[in-house]
Structure 1
Amino acid sequence: MTRASQRRRVHRYTAEGGGTGRADTLAGEEPLEIRLDGRAFTVTMRTPGHDFDLVAGFLVSEGVVRAPDDIVRMDYRSGVGPDGQRTYNVVEVRLAPGVAPPDTSMERHVYTSSSCGVCGTASIEAVTKVSSFDPAGDPVRLPVTAVLALPDRLRTGQKLFDTTGGVHAAGLFRFPGNPAGDGGTGQDAGEPELLCVREDVGRHNAVDKVVGWALRQGLLPLRSTVLQVSGRASFELVQKASMAGVPALAAVSAPSALAVDLAEQTGVTLLGFSRGTSCNAYAHRERLVP
């Protein structure tokens, strides 16, 4: 059976000379094939665990589904190895009647690596997706002090990172309060609620796992939320946020230029270098409350 982490023997060396042997815990990384209605759709490298969340979130990001009822069934039944044992590396998805399957231009003809969420897309046009939701219309207000606290709150939920030091994380936070009825200050009585944390060797996989969890809980669109990620903000992460209706994406590192352009176009507030004491606002800073 697949595992989120594995033990390996290593030899540790120091500048002082010599070395010692010991066991080390490594993050798991294995292929996952996604099949739609019996047809191969893509293969992605991922950290095993929360696979159904990963698949559901990936299908949201690809514009295939938008509601939990769009998926009739997900299971591992197709993944059987030569020895007859289930591999847990193939997920079969049965779409609901009336849900249009993706056209052939969306199929991934090579595997998607753990570092690239759009690799293998068959055409340039298929890279950019149109969201069924509208992040630009979300009136949420984000107190800066609360936003700056999110990286530390995300870090407390990174259990796999604690043991391996080798995975990314994404956390979904819901901001309470009623922006329309607070006199425009955006202040509220409670702190943001942590809804979900997911980890993976691929930062895009961690986000897909969060979005997939939300889809299966019937929470899309994710209004009044911030998606906090542990790495940089790329084009694909902004797109995944937009496809799920997330109005704000915050990263501890830098965004790319294309990520900023897409955030401006889709109405997503994009924050970078958010590290506890300050952050940079790259797009739609009007939601921030100093």
Structure 2
Amino acid sequence: MDTDPTLAHPTWLPAQVLRVRGGRLEAVQQADQLAEETPIALEFNGISHATMLATPADLEDFALGFALTEGIVGDAHDVRGIELREECDGVVVEVEISSACAARLKERRRAMSGRTGCGLCGVETLPEVMRDVAPVGAAPAVPLAAALAAMRALRDRQPLHAATGATHAAGWADADGRLQVVREDVGRHNALDKLVGALARADLGAAQRAGSVIVVSSRASFEMVQKTAAAGVGLLAAVSAPTALAQRLSQRLGVGLMGFMRGDDATIYACQERLAG
């Protein structure tokens, strides 16, 4: 069994395309780049849990972030090890978690067994969708200028998107708006899970996380708010709009919510107290 943690897959591939310019089809094919997406199967203590299509990079961060934001583990220290294995044109990510977490996961799966699915996002029950997440703790407000600066900086920290135009990014900035960590993926949720995993590895203090900002190159669904709160970050800023459910959840979890971030313009949807100025 190949468990080499350095398994490398291309994140984009070259392609030949025909372009249409001014309504006219150009006669000569040109070189282009396409973002790669690969089946990624997550296993916890040998039990298959989920398979997603994702960009095959930063998969250890992805697995850790997914485990945290989905409530499979409560802390990064509950993850004992992560190994990658190539299989069937995809990658299996084997995650070893503590026995207590594994027992809870098995009980959760047993409780879901046999129930009629609600058909929402592949989750079988509504409580699994709207699961309990602890509100983000108090922290000094992030300066508005810092949040705007972090979003502007995100645009220059997306090499895969620059090459392909097909990926999303999630970045974490400190209270001064300095963008410290960025992760990219074809899926916006995957990009955020990768970021959350990277933050967990950094082992930041609760106050430092609460007084910081996550910026995303997408809209802000309730799941993005939920994942931000699970990471303990107090402010989520999105390029596009949030949903009404995302706004309500932000208010309940104490997550500042910004949208339509364009240059020096933005709209604040929830928890204005997370911002200063």
Root-mean-square deviation (CA), in Å? 2.1
Corresponding residue to 2:20 among 13, 32, 49: 13
Task: Give me the whole-angstrom Cα distance separating, in 1, the residues matched to 2:111 and 2:168.
Answer: 26
Residue identity in the other structure for 1:248: L
The corresponding residue for 1:104 is 109
| 1:175-190 → structure 2 map (5 Å cutoff) | 175=175
**Residue in 2 that maps onto 1:49:** 57
Per the alignment, residue 170 of structure 2 pairs with 170
CA contact (8 A) 1:197 1:210 kept: yes
Q: How does 1:94-173 map to 2 (within 5 A)?
A: 94-99=96-101, 100-102=103-105, 103-104=108-109, 119-131=121-133, 133-135=134-136, 137-173=137-173
Look up the match of 2:82.
74
Q: Is 1:58–1:212's contact at 8 Å kept on the other side of the alignment? A: yes
Q: Give yes or no for contact 1:5–1:25 (8 Å, CA) kept in 2.
A: yes
C-alpha separation between the residues in 1 aligned to 2:125 and 2:162?
Answer: 39
Q: Structure 1 vs Structure 2: percent identity of aligned residues?
A: 37
How far apart are residue 106 of structure 1 and its match? 8.8
Alpha-carbon shift at residue 58 of structure 1 (Å)? 0.7
- Residues in 1 aligned to 2:35 and 2:51: alpha-carbon distance in whole angstroms: 19
In the alignment, the residues of structure 2 paired with residue 106 and residue 259 of structure 1 have an alpha-carbon distance, to the nearest angstrom, of 27
Superposed displacement of residue 140, structure 1? 2.3
Matched residue type, 1:122? E
Q: TM-score, normalised by structure 2?
A: 0.87
* CA displacement at 1:286 relative to structure 2: 1.6
- Distance, in Å, in 2 between the alignment partners of 1:275 and 1:52 is 32
| CA-CA distance at 1:17 after TM superposition | 4.8
What runs of 5+ residues in structure 1 fail to find an aligned partner? 82-86, 110-117, 176-190
SS of the residue aligned with 1:76? strand
Give the unaligned 5+ runs of structure 2.
Answer: 1-7, 115-119
Match of 1:194 in 2: 179
What residue number does 2:225 align with? Answer: 238
- Tell me the CA shift for residue 22 of structure 1: 1.5
In the alignment, the residues of structure 2 paired with residue 47 and residue 107 of structure 1 have an alpha-carbon distance, to the nearest angstrom, of 29
